[in-house]
């Protein structure tokens, strides 16, 4: 059982990773949703992806990872504990 079976994001959901690192959880969440009925819209996973990463190098790798997987996501730079994103 993978963590995505536990989380089980569904089409239309929003996934937020407060410590996104290289963006792996966001990519896998999108892949999970894309395999479900109504999981894609115009070829893109039907899910909103958000993340935040403090480390500049890791943030850049995350942005590149999402880009290479042709996924749209809002990946912000910042410390989630000190500066959590506004709701």
- The span from the first CA to the last CA of the chain, in angstroms, equals 31
Query: What confidence score (pLDDT) does residue 85 get?
Result: 76
- Taking only the tens place, the pLDDT of each residue in 64-87 is 999 999 998 999 999 988 888 766
Q: How far is CA 22 from CA 4, 35, 57, 61, 63, in A?
A: 17, 22, 9, 5, 8
pLDDT at 83: 83
Which pLDDT does position 20 carry in this prediction? 94
Quick one: pLDDT at residue 5? 61
Q: Check pLDDT > 80 for residue 43.
A: yes
């Amino acid at each position: 059982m993978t963590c995505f079976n536990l989380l089980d994001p569904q089409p239309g959901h929003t996934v937020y990773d407060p410590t996104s690192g290289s963006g792996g959880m966001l990519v896998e969440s999108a892949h999970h949703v894309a395999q479900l009925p109504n999981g894609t819209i115009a070829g893109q996973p039907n899910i909103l992806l958000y993340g935040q990463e403090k480390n500049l190098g890791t943030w850049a790798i995350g942005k590149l990872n999402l880009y290479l997987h042709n996924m749209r996501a809002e990946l912000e730079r910042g410390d989630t504990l000190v500066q959590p994103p506004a709701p």
